[in-house]
Amino acid sequence: MSGRRIAIYGKGGIGKTTIAVNLAVLLARRGLRTLLVGCDPKKDTARLLTSRLLPSLMERYDALASGAAAPEEVLLPVRENLLVCESGGPRPGVGCAGRGILIALEWLQKSGAYERADVVLYDVLGDVVCGGFATPVTRGFTDTICVVTSGEQASLLAANNILRGMEAVGGKVGGLIFNARGFDGEERLAHAFAQMANTPLLGEIPCSQRIKREELRRHVVCEAEGAEAEKRALTALAERLLALEHAASPRPLDPEVLYAAIEQMERCDPDD
């Protein structure tokens, strides 16, 4: 595999898809051949890029394997230089979604899709709750892991858990992405966690009503008029990711230590 391969992890609902989609659009605009892979049975990664849900690779897998379907049916151009693929997976409660991700990524490799891409972005479902969702890492499909977090307690705990999981499987962590929720003292909490976990903050996305409004219209904020603050933050993140040369050396915290640190910082909040 050539080029940069970036997997984006984080707590469910933390904004991974928003960040992955905007990064993909910005990288494609730079002339980089970009492949965005949705690793989620909900197949909703491309929802901001198209007016419809795309067919998933798992839905078309048998037809692809037999030659009855063409690769273009699941590798869809949504912008110039930007292809998107939804891995898909079984219905909730049926089968193993992680296994579906593995099958999809192996098919992408065999199809040559990776070799034709300058950048691959993986939008990975939720926390690392089973080995299947760590597939982009454990099978060598990624060279950089980014963990999205806010300053909320649940998000920080999830980020810490992901760092621990990546340590266990040998994942190369690039750093954290701070996606702000907008409460007082949040930035201080996120920066403190990054320092305690010895993991750099690669970018900071401001809390933005514009992002939410654009997504309700199924628009990408980096393509919206007037969203200059959001564009600057996302562009800076894209540039930082392209410039990364070395993996971080995270030191995930014992959960009780992290709980205590968060509580201590809250008690010392200067705004109280």
Q: Which of 16, 40, 123, 143 is catalytic?
A: 16
Q: Which of 40, 42, 44, 254 is catalytic?
A: 42
- How many residues belong to the chain? 272
Confirm whether 16 is a catalytic residue. yes
Confirm whether 172 is a catalytic residue. no
Backbone φ/ψ region at 95: left (φ over 0), alpha (ψ -120 to 50), beta: left
Confirm whether 43 is a catalytic residue. no
Q: Which of 40, 123, 127, 143 is catalytic?
A: 127
Q: Which of 11, 40, 123, 143 is catalytic?
A: 11
Residue numbers annotated as active site = 11, 16, 42, 127
